[in-house]
Amino acid sequence: MSDTSPTNPLRAGMRMQRTPEPCTVVIFGATGDLTHRKLVPALYNLQRERLLPPGFSVVGFARRDWSDDFFRDSLLKDAKEFSRSGIDPNLWGSFAEGMSYIQASFDDPAGYAALAVRLRELDEQRGASGNRLFYLSTPPESYATIIQQLGAAGLARSPGNGWTRIIIEKPFGRDLTSARALNAEVHNVFDEQQVYRIDHYLGKETVQNILVFRFANGIFEPLWDRRYVDHVQITVAETVGLEGRGGYYEHAGAMRDMVQNHLMQLLTLTAMEPPIGYRADAVRDEKVKVLRAIRPMPPEQVDQHTVRGQYGPGTVAGQAVPGYREEPGVAADSMTETYVALRFFIDNWRWAGVPFLLRTGKRLPKRVSEIAIQFRSAPLMLFDDGPLSDIEPNVLAMQVQPDEGITLRFDSKVPGQANQIRPVTMDFRYNAAFGVESPEAYERLLLDAMLGDSTLFTRSDEVEASWSLITPIHQGWAQDAPPPFPNYEAGTWGPKAADMLLGKEWRSWRRL
């Protein structure tokens, strides 16, 4: 008989917390910002929560001439600032014991030979048993070289029964051709099962909760289609500018930096069919199906479905800020977009005719990311005492960040003799409901990679399907007349032209 008691963790819907097998994480690009601000603080917090295995080690691999001690000190300095729990000196001491550094350029076989020796030593001295997780945290130009060198040094396979996996940071390619070429390089050396393409949005609690909300509850899914949904708005608004990343951003722009990865992930999780199980391939199969059902934009129609913007000088949170073209590392006549709004249609039975409206930008008035499902209005309005404009359609908004939660808006009678109607909300807030701080996205993703769970990572066909939608947009933009950049003031909600994507005059972008 199956166990249906509430103490059965499966029945209660809980994931058993597991600790990975002993292993070594090798970070390429270990002197960089991502390692210092995100990766090492995330590993430290996993250690603090006793989720790392005994004998866990980190090997940094980078070009700069650093010693092991200098490496540890440099990581500690930033971890003090960026670890969500601060730093406990004793705990850091034992965590840092397993850290070492190899100085080499990424194309130097001698560096990989030294790495092979170091990994064997760690297997013996710290019991890592041949389990290795490589992390590519370098500029993307170096990915192929590192992968080839790992293959040539025999490091793509573990000795004995150990496992070898590789995490690859975004951006994964800059168009469909380069993404395919990179996938081919990767598959020359690693099997797809070994590859973990990271998109840190999938590590956010609120993003994982999209699937739980949709598929662990019975009441929402029947409404989740073209019969009840008018349109979907996905917003990822940032107040920050370039944060010193001008050199990278100039060649990326908002489309490659945010839309191709983070916004497309939010879209697929919102639109996908229920998977046949919560398993990596079952979930990813459904995400790929959504991407393949999105109507591609022929380059000549791109201007009807997309709007680009670039910020000029303005004021954000009371501070005067320079325009994009005045930022360090940016050309004075740059045509890079810092804002994108676009409209997709998903040509399947669930979503036919429902616009998915996406927008993202830097230097907007507020940091806020959300997915809003706007439902159709009631078919007939019975209450006509107040102005019709007081009656707003129902909206279910999933707030990804900050102020994480879910809000349902509906109309309600204002107390009194008149039939006056006003929208009100039902709110769920993570903080109030659970009272615990959510882990950082990188904590969950690093742990999952060590556990061998790739559900929250992007598969090769998924990344190519996403680029096959984005690349024609870039081609369309290249054919169009250049937009009048800068076309929005820093601290405003982007170019006015974005309103034309909404389709019907009574639709509007949400005021957030």
Residues 346, 234 contacting (CB under 8 angstroms): no
Contact 190/147 with Cβ under 8 angstroms?
yes
Task: Using alpha carbons, list the distances in angstroms from residue 11 to 3, 6, 128, 210, 397.
Answer: 8, 6, 34, 20, 29
Strand locations in 5-128, DSSP E?
Answer: 24-28, 57-62, 99-103
Instruction: Give the nearer residue to ligand BG6 in terms of CB position, either 257 or 286.
Output: 257
Give catalytic residues, as residue numbers: 262
Residues that bind ligand BG6 (rule: CB under 6 A) add up to a total of: 3
Question: In sequence order, which residues have a C-beta less than 8 Å from that of residue 243 and are 6 or more positions away?
Answer: none
Q: Smallest gap, in angstroms, from Cβ of residue 257 to ligand BG6?
A: 5
Minimum distance from CB of 378 to ligand BG6 (Å)? 35
309-368 binders of ligand BG6 (CB under 6 A): none
Residue 309 CA to residue 237 CA, distance in Å, equals 13
Residue nearest to ligand BG6 (CB): 257
Q: Distance between terminal CA atoms of the chain? A: 51
Instruction: Give the Cα separation of 272 and 292 in Å (integer).
Output: 11
Cβ-based nearer residue to ligand BG6, 189 or 255: 255
Whichever of 41 and 162 has its CB closer to ligand BG6, that residue is 41
Assess 404 for contact with ligand BG6 (CB under 6 A).
Answer: no
Nearest to 76 by CA among 91, 59, 62: 91
* Cβ nearer to ligand BG6, comparing 72 with 256: 256
Query: CA distances (Å), 393 to each of 230, 375, 410, in order?
Result: 9, 6, 7
Among 21, 238, 286, 462, binds ligand BG6 (CB under 6 A): 238
Nearer to ligand BG6, 40 or 364 (CB): 364
> What is the smallest separation between the CB atom of 237 and ligand BG6, expressed in angstroms?
10
Q: What does the alpha-carbon distance between residue 263 and residue 245 come to, in Å, rounded to a whole number?
A: 20
Torsion angle in degrees (nearest 10) through CA of 316, 400, 226, 476? 50
Cβ-based nearer residue to ligand BG6, 238 or 443? 238
Burial state string for 240-252 with b = 16 or more CB within 10 A and e = fewer than 16? ebbeebbeebbeb
User: How near is the Cβ of 328 to ligand BG6 at its closest, in Å?
Assistant: 15
Which residue, 60, 63, 135, is CA-closest to 106? 63
Q: How far is the CB of 236 from ligand BG6 (least distance, A)?
A: 7
Q: What is the C-alpha separation between 410 and 390, in angstroms, rounded?
A: 12
State which residue, 230 or 238, has the beta carbon closest to ligand BG6. Answer: 238
Which residues are within 8 A (CB) of 508 and not within 5 positions of it... i.e. 6 or more apart? 499, 502
CB of 366 to ligand BG6, least distance (A): 13
Pick from 303, 351, 220: which is nearest to 472 by CA? 303
Question: From the CB of 336, what's the least distance to ligand BG6, in Å?
Answer: 12
Taking CA atoms, 265 is separated from 76, 204, 222, 268, 481, in Å, by 33, 12, 22, 5, 30
Q: How many C-beta atoms surround the C-beta of residue 356 within 10 A?
A: 23
The contact pattern for ligand BG6, residues 252-271, with x = CB under 6 A and - = no contact, is -----x--------------
Nearer to ligand BG6 by C-beta: 66 or 172?
Answer: 172
Residues in touch with ligand BG6 (CB under 6 A)? 238, 240, 257
